[in-house]
Structure 1
Amino acid sequence: MNSKRILALLVVAVAATVGGFYAGHVFTGGETVAATQNNGNAVEELWKAAPPGASGTAQPLASFKGKPVVVNFWASWCGPCVKEMPELSALHREYEKKGITFIGLGVDSEKNVNDFLGKVNVDYPVYVTGFGGADLARNFGNNAGGLPFTVVIDAKGVVRSTKLGEVNVAELKRTLDAL
């Protein structure tokens, strides 16, 4: 009986936390105001990073400099992140022909990222940033540290949009079509 009560309280606590996070997205529209951040510095910090790819080999993100890129911060334990991955993969296939690259930055462990990629086909490069990825996301205005968090950077290094929470495919397409 005691363990049932503890379990019930745990379920209520988790539900309240998730509900609060969701309510925050509803009231803010899930958007982060990128224009108020010093995004030039954020982009430069991103290009300086050299996180390991899923294979474990360090990959300098500077190789994406000068190209339009969609950066998606995610984690394997994040339900909305996992849910949007197939949509992001489909968008990557569609927009890769137009020179736009998607990259995933796993705010997670290498093992979790690789286990996830073993189950879910992701067509774009995925890197493992661990919790350091949260610092990179904060540079773009994600002060809440929530996931998923998506940033669109144009070829000149200008942040065109940021989105905290699951992407809206139609909105993302409008942004990408304007690049």
Structure 2
Amino acid sequence: LLDKYLKAHEGKVIYVDFWATWFSPCRTEIPFAKELHLELEQEAVVFVNFCVKSNHNTWKQLVSEQKVSGINYFLNEDEANVLSNYFQVQAYPTYILIDKKGTIVDYSAPRPSSKDLLKNRILNTIN
């Protein structure tokens, strides 16, 4: 399952967002994430968003209307359980930082709204 979603991004830092459409703190981070993605678009980082425990149609509509940036995946219940266990997700939103070698360096990375802190953490992980 990890290969399916993350293998294509080997050699880049991966910032993973586990989120749900029904939880307002997750939705609140969307504009901050878009801003950060624009600032780091020339860097070796990929933003991967895993939507979990949500309605598929609601997710599609929200991603389209909010122009959610990054690579967006909707996980079915089984996929959500497997990846949530692997990444030790206990709440939403949860942010994970993975280095270029595929090693998880932060199971509780800063939120996009903590832009400067997160940007520095990502850039330090790239370098």
In structure 2, what is the equivalent of residue 125 of structure 1? 71
In structure 2, what is the equivalent of residue 29 of structure 1? none
Q: Which has the larger radius of gyration?
A: 1
Q: Does the CA-based 8 Å contact 1:76-1:82 persist in structure 2?
A: yes
In structure 2, the CA distance between the partners of 1:173 and 1:133, relative to structure 1 (3 Å rule), is same
Q: Please point out which of 114, 118, 124 is paired with 1:172.
A: 118
Q: Does the CA-based 8 Å contact 1:66-1:156 persist in structure 2?
A: yes
Taking the TM superposition and a 5 Å limit, the aligned residue runs for 1:85-96 are 85-96=30-41
In structure 2, what is the equivalent of residue 115 of structure 1? 61
Normalized per residue, the structure richer in strand is 2
In structure 2, what is the equivalent of residue 154 of structure 1? 99
Taking the TM superposition and a 5 Å limit, the aligned residue runs for 1:134-149 are 134-142=81-89, 144=90, 146-149=91-94
What fraction of aligned residue pairs are identical, expressed as a percent?
Answer: 25
Deviation at 1:154, TM superposition (A): 1.0
Deviation at 1:136, TM superposition (A): 0.7
In structure 2, what is the equivalent of residue 15 of structure 1? none
Taking the TM superposition and a 5 Å limit, the aligned residue runs for 1:1-179 are 45-46=1-2, 48=3, 50=4, 60-107=5-52, 108-131=54-77, 132-142=79-89, 144=90, 146-163=91-108, 166-167=111-112, 168-179=114-125
- How many residues were matched structurally? 122
Q: CA RMSD in A?
A: 2.0
Q: Return the structure number with greater relative CO, CA threshold 8 A, min gap 6.
A: 2
TM-score of the pair, normalised by structure 2: 0.83
TM-score of the pair, normalised by structure 1: 0.61
Tell me, what secondary structure is at the counterpart of 1:177? Answer: helix
